[in-house]
Chains A and B, each alone.
Chain A
Amino acid sequence: MSVRWPPAAGRGLLLAAAATAALAVLAPLVALAIAFADARGEVWTHLGATILPEAIRNTALLAGLVGLGSGVLGVALAWLVATRTFPLSRVFDWALLLPLAAPAYVVGFVFVALLEFAGPVQHAMREALGPGARLPDVRSLWGVAFVMTLVLYPYVYLLARGAFAQLDASQMEAARSLGLSRTAAFRRVALPAARPAIAAGCALAMMEALADFGTVSVFGVRTLTEAIYRVWFGMFDRVAATQLASVLLLVTFALLAVERWSRGRARVSQAHGRPVAAIYPPLRGWRAGLACLACALVLGLAFVLPLGVLVVWAFSSGDAWAPSRDLPLVANTLRLATVAAALTVAGALVFAYARRVDGRRLARAASAVARLGYSVPGPVLAVGALVCFAGVDRMVLPHLPAGVAAWLPPLLTGSLVGLLAAYFARFAALALLPVEAGLGRLGPELDEAARTLGASPARLAARIHAPLLRGSLAAAFLLVLVDVMKEMPVTLLLRPLGTDTLAVAVWQRTTEGLWEAAAVPSLTIVAAGLVPVALVHRLGEAWREQSRRRAA
């Protein structure tokens, strides 16, 4: 679907911008892919005979379980909170987003530390029930799938919640009046309308599960990412490692193709009448209690429990908050995250609009390429970016006048610009999927009506699209912001000298197994993440209130 804007120059500019941004995402991957010139038959034979089958099987299962789990959980919670009132439902509305603020590897480690044989839970069991009492091994595929579902459901919840909030009560009422039961109405009216958002959320959760290295290594599960790491750093073979990473990319391609297909072709126009919650009576009695309990359970397991354990560890480790040491870390983290999020959302808009304006191959390809960075494991992308930057620096710097070159720090390698570019490559998908889902909800009739009334493209975007896209943009900004704050491998490798972040502080302690000591910086990351979550929620509320008032 494309809307022809008369100024061809404008269209051309947008496409050029999209192509450049896509190159920025592609460059690190290409730097790695140059490896393919070198066949590595012997390594592949070795891998195929030993660890590859298990790695592929585990990766597929993990992605499937996490996609399914976070999809079901996210949609169920989003629908519950969007349509029903029950005790604390207003709190749960934003509180269910809180798990976004906690890094997955931290939550994973908390669960393993709690539930492993030597941990407190099994220790208590043995005291109470005798030495034979055991729990199934938490360090397993089911364990990591469970924890990742708990950590990643907010992606689906956030996007589905936004989609459900846009639903109009009249659509549901029409369905009910035509004889559909509540469940059928949900299934046939609400779900299809929210399908793009739900598909986007599930895809993000699955891609995060595919690319994760920290959490799966805590659980000792052999995935493709672990195999890549092993080949790269164990066998000193970067070439074979990047060849393996390309297998991962193929899987992601397939995943994204499915997501694109399942987004469907339906266009549901925005009608800002009454919110859909208006037609559902508030829950009472045991049902209300059950709903409250369900939300509390999810939130408790995904957020409150890990937070509590971290607080206990923070106190027992005796490692205090030292403002002179820790405030610069917080400042660096927030600064980097904000700028990276702004940059990435801007880039996502460029990609999304390029597709909308000109649906030909170039725009589509740019958009498809932009998503790849997210499913490449962090360490792999980081090294690709490093190699790419080093290459660019080597090519550009010799041509600068001698005096300038000596004074200038490396342009890209180990510079802030390089780090931001790497964040962009890594997280473009995170911003792109919500923005595209949101933009897709805006039908061509909006643009056409604006055109007939004489609006220029810029005015159309600013006055018509922007207010309607606010929710998606806020969601995209929040997701990238929080992910950059938690991000470790890219930051660890590419950060400028002297720019340490909270995630680096966590790494410094966990690398020697001092998890208790890592509690304070982990808690700081969570605390820093709470601010944008609360902010996005408040803004979302304000906007919903605004559109309700306008419609009335």
Chain B
Amino acid sequence: MTRLLLSYTLASATLAALTVAPLAAQQKTVTVYSSRSHYGAESVFDDFTRQTGIKVVFFNGNNNEVFERLKAEGARTPADLLLTVDAGNLWNAAREGLLAPVASKVLEANVPPQYRDADGRWFGIALRARTIAYSTARVKPGEVPTYKSLGDPRWKGRLCLRSSTNIYNQSLIAALIAGRGEARVEQMVRAWVANQPVYVNGDTGLLQAIAAGQCDVGISNTYYLGRLLEKDPAFPVALAWADQQGSGVHVNVSGGGVTTHAKHRAEAIALLEFLTAPAAQATLAGRSHEYPVNPAVAPLPMLGGWGTFKADQGGVAAAGAYQAAAVKLADRAGYR
């Protein structure tokens, strides 16, 4: 009896599993390979469908895995648009020929030149700044003016860092190398390591460690603090805009590009234009606490309250070009 039941279950399961259901697309669709997930702003895609009638089909994965899959699929890829959370990945995808140039006046108007590819292969849709976070209880504003100052001996035992395996830190170091050269950046990172930093999981973990008193200063993306402050306006951590007298705060983009073998190119361009237009920018940035990339859109009041900052004008593409060097530098300096 059990045997019969088991074999029946097995047979039907096999049948169900191996049934190939061809996608009979009555509706227009655009397929997006995305490493953005759960930023809280996913409703913009529903808005897009409502406005244009084009359905958005997602394939989510890590930056790297999405890239490898896109590359392996080649000309047979169903992907029309690649969305990432980091410019370095876009740079790499463009370099590998996975993204096709797009000439669109709308996109060029919506996205400032330093936040898009010079050849139009990718465009930023949201900005994030990676700057210094400090405890409001134990640190005075102005005590940590630069990334380099984190290496001051006074922060020994009081510094928290996220692992250098994380893409955001790699991009930060890469952008710094692009601006100042490897030797100076290596010195800086060595100074950070000499302060015996506490390594934490994630920027949220870092901010919570500062709040709990495990350390006093660290580096974090702006939107993580935004989310924490929204939940608890009295959260005892604040941001200091780094290098305002120097080259400015490191800025990264989350962005997208149309794939070379896109089957629905027009729809993909329409989606990008929609995402960078003022209406969607307000929702996108509003829900995810990122900064809008469209200069015509103001950031959330809370973010506005942090003041304007001078951003590094080096262009986000530099992060990709120097990423490998950044990882090797981190290894040499002992930044784990």
Bound: A1/B326 CA distance, A = 56
Asked if B52 is an interface residue, CB under 8 A from chain A, the answer is no
* Cβ–Cβ contact B65 & A492, under 8 A: yes
Bound: A234/B173 CA distance, A = 12
* Number of residues of chain A lying within 8 A (CB) of chain B: 65
* Cβ–Cβ contact B72 & A389, under 8 A: yes
* Cβ–Cβ contact A508 & B205, under 8 A: no
* Cβ–Cβ contact A234 & B327, under 8 A: yes
The one of A220, A237, A393 that contacts B201, using a Cβ cutoff of 8 Å: A220
Find chain B residues with CB under 8 A from A489 CB.
65
Find chain A residues with CB under 8 A from B92 CB.
236
Q: Within residues 74 to 120 of chain A, which ones have a CB less than 8 A from any CB in chain B? A: 112, 116-118
* Cβ–Cβ contact B37 & A498, under 8 A: no
Supposing A393-B76, A513-B203 touch, asked if A234 and B170 sit within 8 A by C-beta, the answer is yes
* Cβ–Cβ contact B328 & A46, under 8 A: yes
What 1/0 mask marks residues of chain B from 320 to 336 whose CB sits below 8 Å from any chain A CB? 00011011100110001
Find chain A residues with CB under 8 A from B332 CB.
46, 49-50
Q: Looking across the interface, which residue of chain A has its beta carbon closest to that of B330?
A: A234
Distance between A138 CB and nearest chain B CB, rounded to angstroms: 11
Find chain B residues with CB under 8 A from A339 CB.
13-14, 17-18
Bound: A182/B9 CA distance, A = 45
* Cβ–Cβ contact A220 & B38, under 8 A: no
The one of B17, B38, B202, B336 that contacts A336, using a Cβ cutoff of 8 Å: B17
Distance between B303 CB and nearest chain A CB, rounded to angstroms: 18
Chain B interface, DSSP helix/strand/loop, else mixed: helix
Which one of A164-172, A248-256, A355-363, A379-387 is at the interface? A379-387
* Cβ–Cβ contact B213 & A218, under 8 A: no
Q: Within residues 286 to 336 of chain B, which ones have a CB less than 8 A from any CB in chain A? A: 323-324, 326-328, 331-332, 336
Supposing A342-B10, A414-B69, A512-B37 touch, asked if A51 and B331 sit within 8 A by C-beta, the answer is yes
* Cβ–Cβ contact A338 & B60, under 8 A: no
Bound: A494/B68 CA distance, A = 10
The one of B65, B204, B209, B211 that contacts A379, using a Cβ cutoff of 8 Å: B65
Counting chain B residues whose Cβ lies within 8 A of the other chain, the interface size class is 35 or more
* Cβ–Cβ contact B72 & A386, under 8 A: yes
Find chain B residues with CB under 8 A from A226 CB.
165
Supposing A237-B324, A338-B13 touch, asked if A513 and B64 sit within 8 A by C-beta, the answer is no
Bound: A192/B65 CA distance, A = 45
Bound: A123/B20 CA distance, A = 53
Find chain B residues with CB under 8 A from A11 CB.
none
Asked if A246 is an interface residue, CB under 8 A from chain B, the answer is no
Asked if A308 is an interface residue, CB under 8 A from chain B, the answer is no
* Cβ–Cβ contact B331 & A413, under 8 A: no
Distance between A378 CB and nearest chain B CB, rounded to angstroms: 10
Find chain A residues with CB under 8 A from B170 CB.
234
* Cβ–Cβ contact B38 & A508, under 8 A: yes
The one of A49, A118, A236, A383 that contacts B323, using a Cβ cutoff of 8 Å: A236
Asked if B16 is an interface residue, CB under 8 A from chain A, the answer is yes
Find chain A residues with CB under 8 A from B65 CB.
379, 382-383, 489, 492-493
* Cβ–Cβ contact B201 & A218, under 8 A: yes
Q: Within residues 124 to 180 of chain B, which ones have a CB less than 8 A from any CB in chain A? A: 163, 165, 167, 170
Name which of B63, B64, B170, B209 has the most chain A CB atoms within 10 A of its CB. Answer: B64
Bound: A409/B327 CA distance, A = 38
* Cβ–Cβ contact A335 & B59, under 8 A: no
Find chain B residues with CB under 8 A from A117 CB.
198, 209, 212-214
Supposing A112-B201, A498-B57 touch, asked if A386 and B74 sit within 8 A by C-beta, the answer is no
Number of A-B contacts (CB under 8 A): 146
* Cβ–Cβ contact A511 & B324, under 8 A: no
Asked if B61 is an interface residue, CB under 8 A from chain A, the answer is yes
Q: Within residues 229 to 268 of chain A, which ones have a CB less than 8 A from any CB in chain B? A: 229-230, 232-237
* Cβ–Cβ contact A413 & B73, under 8 A: yes
* Cβ–Cβ contact B203 & A416, under 8 A: no
* Cβ–Cβ contact A235 & B212, under 8 A: no
Find chain A residues with CB under 8 A from B9 CB.
338
Find chain A residues with CB under 8 A from B35 CB.
511
* Cβ–Cβ contact B39 & A220, under 8 A: no
* Cβ–Cβ contact B60 & A118, under 8 A: no
Q: Looking across the interface, which residue of chain A has its beta carbon closest to that of B79?
A: A497
Asked if A394 is an interface residue, CB under 8 A from chain B, the answer is yes
* Cβ–Cβ contact A338 & B62, under 8 A: no
Bound: A295/B151 CA distance, A = 49
* Cβ–Cβ contact A217 & B165, under 8 A: yes
Find chain B residues with CB under 8 A from A393 CB.
76
Bound: A352/B65 CA distance, A = 34
Bound: A316/B224 CA distance, A = 19
Q: Within residues 195 to 251 of chain A, which ones have a CB less than 8 A from any CB in chain B? A: 217-218, 220, 222, 226, 229-230, 232-237
* Cβ–Cβ contact A118 & B208, under 8 A: yes
The one of B59, B204, B323 that contacts A497, using a Cβ cutoff of 8 Å: B59
Find chain A residues with CB under 8 A from B76 CB.
393, 397, 410, 413
The one of A230, A390, A539 that contacts B74, using a Cβ cutoff of 8 Å: A390
* Cβ–Cβ contact B72 & A118, under 8 A: no
Asked if B31 is an interface residue, CB under 8 A from chain A, the answer is yes
New A-B contacts (8) at CB < 8 Å, excluding given A139-B201, A393-B76, A394-B74: A50-B332, A117-B209, A118-B214, A383-B68, A387-B72, A416-B20, A494-B69, A512-B39
Q: Can you sample 7 A-B contacts with CB below 8 Å?
A: A46-B332, A117-B212, A118-B208, A235-B324, A235-B327, A339-B17, A493-B69
Interface residues of B (CB under 8 A from A): 2, 9-10, 13-14, 16-18, 20, 22-23, 31, 35, 37-39, 57, 59-65, 68-69, 72-74, 76, 78, 92, 163, 165, 167, 170, 198-199, 201-205, 208-209, 211-214, 224, 323-324, 326-328, 331-332, 336
Interface residues of A (CB under 8 A from B): 46-47, 49-51, 112, 116-118, 123, 131, 139, 217-218, 220, 222, 226, 229-230, 232-237, 335-336, 338-339, 342, 379, 382-383, 386-387, 389-390, 393-394, 397, 407, 409-410, 413-414, 416-417, 489, 492-494, 497-498, 500, 504, 507-509, 511-514, 517, 539, 542
Nearest first, the 10 A-B pairs at minimum CB distance are A118-B212, A234-B327, A390-B72, A50-B331, A117-B214, A513-B202, A233-B64, A235-B324, A513-B204, A508-B37
